[in-house]
Amino acid sequence: MKQVTLNGAKMESIEVAHSYIARKLSFPSYYGHNLDALWDVLSSINENLHITLVNNDLLITSLGDYGRSLVDVFIEAAQESDCVQFELAIK
């Protein structure tokens, strides 16, 4: 199983967040850098992947409601997919 840790402290803007996520998760070049595109790519993953998000509080501080929506997409994708697991690392 591939394991990836995402650091909320590195997601200081919407654009930076999507670029960071795309790079860390090796998304295809056609990734659209928005919440719908994130859902589309996560829901099409067919290899086991465990994603851990650290510093969720800093992500929410930087992105507010958008940050909450971003986390929700990961949670929902993990609930729908047999291959994707998502974990919020709590300090």
Q: Walk me through the domains of the chain, giving residue ranges and CATH numbers.
A: 2-88 (3.30.370.10)
In this structure, what token pair is assigned to residue 91? 């300090």
Residue 64 has pLDDT above 70, yes or no: yes
| Confidence category of residue 6, pLDDT binned at 50, 70, 90 | very high
pLDDT at res. 91: 63
Q: Looking at residue 46, what is its pLDDT? A: 94
The whole-angstrom separation of Cα 7 and Cα 73 is 16
Phi, psi of 84 (to 5 degrees): -100, 130
Once rounded to an integer, what is the mean pLDDT over residues 68-74? Answer: 98
